Structure 1
Amino acid sequence: MVFKIDFIDGKTVSWKKGETGIEAERHSSYYPRFYIEGSKSKLHRSRSWLTRQDGVVATKFESWKPTLKQPEKQVLRVDCSTEDALSTAVNRLKKGFGRSTFRFYNVGFSPQFRFCLQRNKCPVPETELENLEIELSRKKLSNRNISGIRVDNQRLQGGEKQVLEEIRSIWRQKDPDLVIASNGQVLSILNNKIQEHQPGFSLGRMEKFQQLAGGNTVSSYGKRQHKSARFNIPGRIIIDRSNSFMLGETTLEGLWDLVERSYRPMQELAWGSIGRLLTSIEVRKAYLEEGTLTPWKNWGGEKPKKASTMHKADRGGFIFSPDPGVYRDVYEADFASLFPNIMVEKNISPETVCCNCCNNSRTPELGYSICEEKDGFIGKVLQPLIEHRQQMKEELGNIEDESRRRYVEGSIDAIKWILVSCFGYMGHSHASYGAIRCHQAIQAFDRDIMLKAKESFEESGYSVTHGIIDSIWVQEDNPTEEFEEVCRQVSDNVGIELEPEYRFEWCAFVPRKSSRADISTLNRYFGKKKNGELKTAGVEAEQDSVSNFIKDAQIEMIEALDKEMSTDDVIEVVKKHVTKLESNDVPVDSLVKTKKTSKNLEDYKVENRTVSALRRAKKHNIDVRPGEEVKFVVKNDSAKLLDRTRLEFESSEGGYDPNYYSDMLIRAAESVTSPLGVEEDEIRSRVFGRDTKLTQYRQM
């Protein structure tokens, strides 16, 4: 089967790997296409107009369902010579006939995905591919210096010319089909060096090196993320680790599972967002199985509602806020893939919620009707994912073959992220198959299900300690039934499995910082399970920006608290680590902090630690874009500008600021002791033996 598709100088080339090796095939008859819907007269006018446009190869009337709600109707198919010609034709149609004259379909697809969709080709190879990994440090990347480059975790020795000779030899020997680069810029730099020193050698299987997209910074859910430039090498799959969220969360084998489900080729799948991957699975099913097109820039505005309905619709999911403190003998139960299961079991889909054929007011609180005549499209997409993931979880314990184990583990993780995202993406403005009414209905069912679970536990002699979205924590009062039996009853009652997750000897819910109200932070807690393992969520030990030294120290504090539930034991751990800091007895590399930047260096108004690290990066000619991470050690927190921090690779050049890291220790200790009423000021007093107020910290 095809594993890579290239578009070179207007030609389409696909690559296969079989028992005889690599085969390339040119597709001279492949033309990317899109569809338009409109009045019959205007479609005929547009067809006549399109035939005179450069880049339009053919037009044809076909019957398709334009949307999930509409029946089949005549639409105009437009075949174009290239992807660029397709974009030009769409823009000219909008300009020539007016933006609201036509609705466009199957427009916003990436090139390789469109090819696989139109040709109905699953881009998973029949035989195993040859993989190769290449890595270059950030400093050398910025200085465009390839000496010290690592290939398959082996450092290549010598100067640039010698390194290029080594790479040429490796390329000829391994002939890689899939190249994983630490950053896409590595390949661009290598290509430039090859052009300079090694003419006649090419990284690709054809003499071509392409830049597909430039780097850019985007905002997603309030966070800034930088996307590196994307490059292409003909005949080889390129995966940029710095651009691939999914590769960081699952295995390469797990990504191949998603390729098979979506028909999105590996190179495009690896850099795609979770929402894009979910959409690909939906588009494949709609186009190849349901005879339905995908609208371009789909978004239907929310219909007017009564104020009372709007208030209920915008309430969000179920939350039962816990009181801060330490609780003994706590049980936790989670609904299995609750939101995806709600969509499947309650038949929630854009064409079924508020349908035109039923009037049953099935949605709790909101009264939205749910179609009883047909199964929803979203349920058809999600049900196989839910079922296959559950089957693989059951299979996992019996697998002996290591390659099969990696595939199954990777698939479980990969599908998990698709299921996690499907609810949020249902209400996203870019969702091809989303609708805000579905988003609201899902949350209404969630609130109803969680309230039923709460009532069942209380009727069976349990008190609810905490509950959020799909998880519930309970304690025994005067139980009349076993915890597992209540979970089974709830599962039978609501039609979605409530899984007993953990039994805690004790569980501590952390209060909100700087809050006079006695309120816990919903997602910050820690505890000890009955099997002796610790469980942490949201505290410093789980935060990516916190140094390993602080994380390890906090785990030690929790272990100390577990002995007799005494804050004195926690304070002793803090004192021990403060002494180590003051004695310069802590390895500097364990103190490295990671911060994600939100602006360019010149846009920061306050000289904080992140700015200091960015200034040092600039000194080393390292360009850190908004959304990228910078790693550093705080050397002297009272110093200014460049002397305040040291970058990760500079950490061996100097020491660290023990006072700053002592402050961070005390903050981490507060997360452990605050459920017992001991806050930062008291910790500081007990550690340093004096009554001191909270330091006014500089901005991070």
Structure 2
Amino acid sequence: MTYGRTVYQSGAHYLFGRWHLDLKNSFYFKECGWEGLYEIARIAKIPVQRAARTTIGTSLSSMQLDVALRRGLWVPMDKAQAEDFRPASDLVVADKGGLVYEPDIGWFENVAEYDFVSMYPTLMVKHNISPETVNCECCDRGVGAEEMVEGRQPGNRDRGVGAEEMVEGRQPGNRDRGVGAEEMVEGRQPGNRDKNSVPEIGHHLCSRRQGIVPEVLVPILKKRAEYKRRVKAGDPQAAAFKARADAHKWSLVTSFGYLGFKNARFGKIEAHESVTAWGRETLLRAKDFVEERGFHVLHANVDCVWIQGRPGMEYEALRREIETAGGCSVGLEGVYKWLRFCPSKTDPLSGVPNRYFGAFRNGELKIRGLALRRRDTPEIFKRMQKDMLAVLAEAEDVAGCRARAGRLADIADGVRERIAIGRVEAAELAVTFTLSKDPSDYVANGPSAVAVKRLAASGVQLHAGETVRYVIRSAGDKIAEMRATPLAFVSEAPEVDTRKYLELWERCRNEIMDGLEGPKANAEELREIPGSAVDGVAEPDVVFPQEAQAKEPQLKSARAVNAARHARKAARLKIRSRPKAESLGPELPFGPEPGGDGHVFPGPLNALL
């Protein structure tokens, strides 16, 4: 899965009479091992050595072609198929993607994370979403003139009005159910009109025949569920079953994206939009259901929801209720002892959907969006954050995290000292950079481009998608070649830009330490949310610092906060301004630098604060 990244893959070399498996360039083998590779080759009906080098989309297309040929259907000869013409107003409504909320910022306790299991593939099967079933000609959305004249209800063109139905007062084509009062009041026809209509965007789905895509996904979903059940039951072959389940996971993930891929033989953008529309509807139903029962939803992201728990609550019982309300299988990812939702680096009043970290009750850590998850972060900073998080994992609550702030500071300070005195190896400071184009196409002379150009000038052949490692020598030097040194050219005692690396150190340190040090809470705005976070600490009752209580509640000036962006939160947040610039954390504009003297800027600049 590239997710927009440029990836380099060398050419394939197939042998006759023996297998040649290039394990370095095999996605399936890297992610799922031998068992996963064999499983995909078998169900996709592709030779093993070819399956090892093919993409997930190619394997999925092979499964779809197999179903189409067995059903005697025609296969599109051309891949690139244009979507139907629509006005721009329809695109604004339909082209929205998954539902992503802005999380509350702070440190929280007893948070349950619920995950819809294979949400999009399940919805594709449940609602029969496939390119040929979206807006099909056999199932009309409205009442046509022909149907009105003949007295038949829409969606039942294959049968007329029976005498039995007229006597019993039931609508034709729905012999198994009577006319409900709710349907009559709302003016809806009983049957499948609402069932087969995609919420919000208005597409309709076929109710007469199963689509190719759902037919392909049904056995994959069943096999993966069975493999996961056997793994959970402790089967002796659990490792093999887990590898096979992981292989099917990638097929399921790709099945959704391939619906909107322009080069997919069985792709259609309207089908892709229908899946995301049902996904938004499902997540909204779950969120509304939880809030109606008095729980606070901290965050929701496409197919996951984070809920603030209560002492002694039954998390498994709530899972079953959410599953019933949402109509899809729901899993309890876990219950966090503590969880941190990080603020944006550019706007400290806004949360970031994919930047959080926390510890489950079993001690396992879940980390998203931190520096240690980035491919380009130097190893010394990755190891620093891992060591800091390992200490935090010992804490049972937010108070325990605060109590360990001193140990975290010691770990970070030790790394800072090593960088400052130059007692660090070049490999630990190396930045990993992936080329997005050929070396000759780079125009700017940033450190990454300089390293690439120096390698190319020395005779190293580089292609888009390959990676290089380099050390920052002097990031702001006027001479371009002095800005970076490829790791291959570095001597035992490398010359590095100490100031630049200390800036990176500070950024990595603050990602974890903010909200844990001292009463000022490092960049957290005071928020009045019952049961949420104040200054980075989750408390049932909000208690503001004494100096802040003397101030009248007021919104920040337009210079500090984009009013339009935060209008939706103004109703539930009371943002109180700090009396002095010193109280601003390092993430806020014009705040004092960490470890600085905390002075107030003179003149007009101080007035802005």
The question of a shared fold, defined as TM-score above 0.5 by the shorter chain, is answered with yes
3-state DSSP of counterpart to 2:8 = strand
What's the Cα RMSD here?
Answer: 2.9
Say whether the 8 Å CA contact 2:345–2:587 is kept in structure 1: no
Measured against aligned partners, the alpha-carbon deviations of 1:424-453 in whole angstroms (never above 9, x if no partner) come to 110110111111111111111111110110
Check 1:616–1:406 CA distance in 2 against 1; reply closer, same or farther (3 A cut): farther
3-state DSSP of counterpart to 2:356 = strand
Q: Distance in 1 between matches of 2:81 and 2:439?
A: 39
> For structure 1, which segment, 302-311 or 250-259, has the greater mean C-alpha deviation from structure 2 after superposition?
302-311
Q: Does residue 290 of structure 1 match 2:123?
A: no
Say whether the 8 Å CA contact 2:6–2:465 is kept in structure 1: yes
Check 1:618–1:690 CA distance in 2 against 1; reply closer, same or farther (3 A cut): farther
Q: Does residue 240 of structure 1 match 2:39?
A: no
Matched residue, 2:262: 429
The counterpart of 2:104, out of the listed 282, 300, 323, is 323
The counterpart of 1:539, out of the listed 370, 374, 379, is 370
3-state DSSP of counterpart to 2:7 = strand
Measured against aligned partners, the alpha-carbon deviations of 1:356-378 in whole angstroms (never above 9, x if no partner) come to 22232421112322222222221
Matched residue, 1:354: 135
3-state DSSP of counterpart to 1:292 = coil
3-state DSSP of counterpart to 1:237 = coil
Say whether the 8 Å CA contact 2:29–2:52 is kept in structure 1: yes
The counterpart of 1:679, out of the listed 576, 586, 594, is 586
Q: Does residue 526 of structure 1 match 2:357?
A: yes
The counterpart of 1:600, out of the listed 438, 444, 454, is 438
Q: Does residue 582 of structure 1 match 2:420?
A: yes
Q: Does residue 556 of structure 1 match 2:387?
A: yes
Check 1:689–1:624 CA distance in 2 against 1; reply closer, same or farther (3 A cut): farther
3-state DSSP of counterpart to 1:261 = helix
Measured against aligned partners, the alpha-carbon deviations of 1:69-120 in whole angstroms (never above 9, x if no partner) come to xxxxxxxxxxxxxxxxxxxxxxxxxxxxxxxxxxxxxxxxxxxxxxxxxxxx
Q: Does residue 663 of structure 1 match 2:494?
A: no
Matched residue, 2:156: none
The counterpart of 2:459, out of the listed 621, 636, 645, is 621
Q: Does residue 470 of structure 1 match 2:278?
A: no
3-state DSSP of counterpart to 1:395 = helix
Q: Following TM superposition, by how much is the alpha carbon of 1:331 offset from its aligned partner in structure 2, in angstroms?
A: 0.9
Check 1:619–1:300 CA distance in 2 against 1; reply closer, same or farther (3 A cut): closer
3-state DSSP of counterpart to 1:251 = helix
Name the amino acid aligned to 1:281.
M
Matched residue, 1:490: 322
Measured against aligned partners, the alpha-carbon deviations of 1:239-271 in whole angstroms (never above 9, x if no partner) come to 334543333322132111100011122232222
Measured against aligned partners, the alpha-carbon deviations of 1:201-258 in whole angstroms (never above 9, x if no partner) come to xxxxxxxxxxxxxxxxxx9754323332333333333333454333332213211110
The counterpart of 2:402, out of the listed 561, 565, 568, is 565
Say whether the 8 Å CA contact 2:586–2:593 is kept in structure 1: no
Q: Distance in 2 between matches of 1:594 and 1:477?
A: 44
Measured against aligned partners, the alpha-carbon deviations of 1:162-212 in whole angstroms (never above 9, x if no partner) come to xxxxxxxxxxxxxxxxxxxxxxxxxxxxxxxxxxxxxxxxxxxxxxxxxxx
Q: Does residue 372 of structure 1 match 2:207?
A: yes
Task: Judging by fraction of residues, say which structure has more strand.
Answer: 1
3-state DSSP of counterpart to 1:364 = coil
Gaps of 5+ in 1: 1-218, 694-700
Q: Distance in 2 between matches of 1:492 and 1:309?
A: 31
Q: Distance in 2 between matches of 1:355 and 1:326?
A: 49
Alignment of 1:159-308 (within 5 A): 222-287=4-69, 289-305=70-86, 308=89
Say whether the 8 Å CA contact 1:575–1:687 is kept in structure 2: no
Check 1:592–1:241 CA distance in 2 against 1; reply closer, same or farther (3 A cut): farther
The percentage of aligned residue pairs carrying the same residue is 28
Name the amino acid aligned to 2:467.
E
Q: Distance in 1 between matches of 2:462 and 2:80?
A: 35
Say whether the 8 Å CA contact 2:430–2:470 is kept in structure 1: yes
Matched residue, 1:453: 286
Q: Following TM superposition, by how much is the alpha carbon of 1:646 offset from its aligned partner in structure 2, in angstroms?
A: 4.1
Q: Following TM superposition, by how much is the alpha carbon of 1:526 offset from its aligned partner in structure 2, in angstroms?
A: 0.7
Say whether the 8 Å CA contact 1:253–1:406 is kept in structure 2: no
3-state DSSP of counterpart to 1:546 = coil
Matched residue, 2:492: 653
Measured against aligned partners, the alpha-carbon deviations of 1:593-652 in whole angstroms (never above 9, x if no partner) come to 211012222222222221232234235532111221112233454565555444444556
3-state DSSP of counterpart to 2:594 = helix
The number of equivalent residue pairs is: 470
Q: Distance in 2 between matches of 1:692 and 1:670?
A: 21
Check 1:279–1:491 CA distance in 2 against 1; reply closer, same or farther (3 A cut): same
Gaps of 5+ in 2: 142-192, 516-520, 524-584, 602-609
Check 1:554–1:680 CA distance in 2 against 1; reply closer, same or farther (3 A cut): farther
Q: Does residue 514 of structure 1 match 2:346?
A: yes
Check 1:365–1:671 CA distance in 2 against 1; reply closer, same or farther (3 A cut): same
Q: Following TM superposition, by how much is the alpha carbon of 1:691 offset from its aligned partner in structure 2, in angstroms?
A: 6.7
Say whether the 8 Å CA contact 1:553–1:665 is kept in structure 2: no
> For structure 1, which segment, 632-641 or 351-360, has the greater mean C-alpha deviation from structure 2 after superposition?
632-641
* Higher RCO (C-alpha under 8 Å, 6+ residues apart): 2
Say whether the 8 Å CA contact 1:228–1:242 is kept in structure 2: no
Instruction: Using structure 1 for the length normalisation, give the TM-score.
Output: 0.62
Q: Following TM superposition, by how much is the alpha carbon of 1:534 offset from its aligned partner in structure 2, in angstroms?
A: 2.0
The counterpart of 1:394, out of the listed 221, 225, 229, is 229
Say whether the 8 Å CA contact 1:251–1:406 is kept in structure 2: no
Q: Distance in 1 between matches of 2:501 and 2:27?
A: 31
Q: Distance in 2 between matches of 1:638 and 1:476?
A: 49
Name the amino acid aligned to 1:686.
P
> For structure 1, which segment, 236-245 or 347-356, has the greater mean C-alpha deviation from structure 2 after superposition?
236-245
Say whether the 8 Å CA contact 1:324–1:509 is kept in structure 2: yes
Q: Distance in 2 between matches of 1:542 and 1:317?
A: 23
Q: Following TM superposition, by how much is the alpha carbon of 1:337 offset from its aligned partner in structure 2, in angstroms?
A: 0.3
Alignment of 1:11-50 (within 5 A): none
Q: Distance in 1 between matches of 2:491 and 2:505?
A: 22
Q: Distance in 2 between matches of 1:336 and 1:617?
A: 46
Measured against aligned partners, the alpha-carbon deviations of 1:452-473 in whole angstroms (never above 9, x if no partner) come to 1011111222111000100000
Name the amino acid aligned to 2:503.
D
Check 1:592–1:684 CA distance in 2 against 1; reply closer, same or farther (3 A cut): farther
Say whether the 8 Å CA contact 1:456–1:486 is kept in structure 2: no
Say whether the 8 Å CA contact 1:393–1:412 is kept in structure 2: yes
Q: Distance in 2 between matches of 1:691 and 1:589?
A: 38
Matched residue, 1:73: none
Q: Does residue 418 of structure 1 match 2:251?
A: yes
3-state DSSP of counterpart to 2:468 = strand
Q: Following TM superposition, by how much is the alpha carbon of 1:557 offset from its aligned partner in structure 2, in angstroms?
A: 3.4
